[in-house]
Structure 1
């Protein structure tokens, strides 16, 4: 089975991105990822049901120590392979990369061949755009100043019938303190 670990933004931000995607679709027609809900990919992997249960336990443990905070989205950008996306501010990107690094390091114990998608955190608007459609996207969307509260992970499983990933479990950040090597005198 195929799985994807993501950070889902707030409902308001998801709706905002849906609106952007709809505006772009009205200008250029259907495109790859037009129906995908806004998210920031951490990683993708394949696993059986038994191993996924262990992964869920590890994710619940890891999420317990993560600190929730706002993610600020500050610019539109694109990759050469014709993906148009929203990028986080430098500070938010550093926060996300730190989380992704910790998670991926721990999950590699269960998934040695882990596919790291979160190397450059972003929210995809459109994929597989040709040059003309990319020009339209860049002209249509020039400024963004949005944020959402990042307070957990979502584990998604690929539904082949729908051709989309569906959330199977969320892991809220609990802001617990790590007591790394501290000794108590009392």
Structure 2
């Protein structure tokens, strides 16, 4: 099964993103990749057998208890241009991007390597340089230009991020479902198995 650790924005930004997706669909006069997906920022993805999920979840809860909540701000749009598959997205501001990358690095360093070896088949850190919240993908380069034209000239919103979510790919729907919401507690991390049981 395919899973992902992600950030979900607050309901207000969810609504704004949904409205922009509708505007983009009208501008393109077609559906597009990610139209039906809830807005999110993917942090990492992993593959694992379903029977191992609870062990993985327990480790994520331990690690995310160390992660500090933070203010996440968005500042405008960006794109990934490729020959056949372009993406249009909302981008976090520079401070928020740095905060996301820093937290992902911390998750990677603290997550128990023995748990990864035993229960996880593959692990990919998605956020390395450009955290983003996709609005539309599977676009042509010309369609990306349309996205810039039809969306509001500025997107400047923020929310206090105090949870990460684990999402699981639903093969029937072709979309990810939210399995668990994990609170960021900002607790101190100490070496040793006993002190890691929060």
TM-score, normalised relative to structure 2: 0.85
Measure, in 1, the Cα distance between the counterparts of 2:73 and 2:168. 27
SS at match of 2:95: helix
Large movers: runs of 4+ above 6 Å: none
Partner of 1:184: none
Alignment of 1:136-147 (within 5 A): 136-141=146-151, 142-147=153-158
Gaps of 5+ in 2: 193-198
Aligned length: 181
Partner of 1:167: 178
Q: Which of these residues, 123, 143, 146, is aligned with residue 133 of structure 1?
A: 143
Partner of 2:161: 150
Matched, 1:83 2:92: no
- Report if aligned partners of 1:43, 1:104 keep a CA contact under 8 Å in 2: no
Alignment of 1:66-105 (within 5 A): 66-81=67-82, 82-105=86-109
Measured at CA, do residues 108 and 175 of structure 1 come closer, stay the same or move farther in structure 2, by a change above 3 Å? closer
Q: Which of these residues, 123, 138, 143, is aligned with residue 133 of structure 2?
A: 123
Partner of 2:195: none
Measure, in 2, the Cα distance between the counterparts of 1:108 and 1:121. 24
Post-superposition Cα deviations, 1:65-97, rounded to whole Å, max 9, x if no partner, equal: 111111010120101121101111111001000
Per-residue deviation, 1:104 = 2.8
Partner of 2:5: 5
In terms of mean alpha carbon deviation, does 43-52 or 33-42 score higher? 43-52
Measure, in 1, the Cα distance between the counterparts of 2:177 and 2:122. 22
Alignment of 1:31-110 (within 5 A): 31-81=32-82, 82-107=86-111, 109=113, 110=116
- Report if aligned partners of 1:4, 1:156 keep a CA contact under 8 Å in 2: yes
Measure, in 2, the Cα distance between the counterparts of 1:92 and 1:47. 30
Post-superposition Cα deviations, 1:133-172, rounded to whole Å, max 9, x if no partner, equal: 1111111233111111111111111111111110111110
RMSD across aligned positions (CA): 1.8
Per-residue deviation, 1:5 = 0.9
Gaps of 5+ in 1: 182-186
